[in-house]
Amino acid sequence: MEINFGEWEMQRFDAISDPRLQEWFDDYFHVAATGGESFEDLYRRVAAFLDELKKKPCQEVGIFAHGGVLICAQIYAGAVQKETAWEHLTPYGGVISIDL
């Protein structure tokens, strides 16, 4: 599941009138969307899933996900740093490979 944008869900950023939007733009990693979650919250969910996945007797796993989830997985695997993660956004329909 991709990041929960709460009250901002399904709106263009330029159409959101919430005064907290600028606060989120300034620190999206820690600041949650109104009624939603922060990128840090999303990362914790993805990390918990990957922690559980590593306990399974799997050699290879395919996961279909949105860009934010894929970025979190890459941060978790140490493939990218959170400060530059958005520079590595997987293109639509793209594929990444990580080792856990």
Listed residue (72, 71, 59) closest to 99, CA to CA: 59
pLDDT at 49: 97
Q: Give a yes or no: residue 46 inside a domain.
A: yes
In a domain, 17, yes or no: yes
DSSP summary character for residue 84:
G
**93 domain residue, yes or no:** no
Residue 94 lies in a domain: no
pLDDT of residue 60: 93
1 located within any domain: no
Domain of 39, CATH number, reads: 3.40.50.1240
How many distinct structural domains can be found in the chain? 1
Taking only the tens of pLDDT, the chain with its 100 residues reads 899 999 999 999 999 999 999 999 999 899 999 999 999 999 999 999 999 999 999 999 999 999 999 999 999 999 999 889 888 889 999 999 999 8
Residue 96 forms part of a structural domain: no
**Alpha carbons 21 and 81: distance in angstroms, whole number:** 24
pLDDT of residue 32: 96
Global confidence as pTM: 0.89
Q: Which domain holds residue 37?
A: 6-88
Buried b (16+ CB within 10 A) or exposed e, 41-80: bbbeebeebbeeeeeeeeeeeeeeeebbbbbbbbbbeeeb
CA distances from 94 to 5, 37, 71 (A): 23, 25, 12
Q: Is residue 99 part of a domain?
A: no
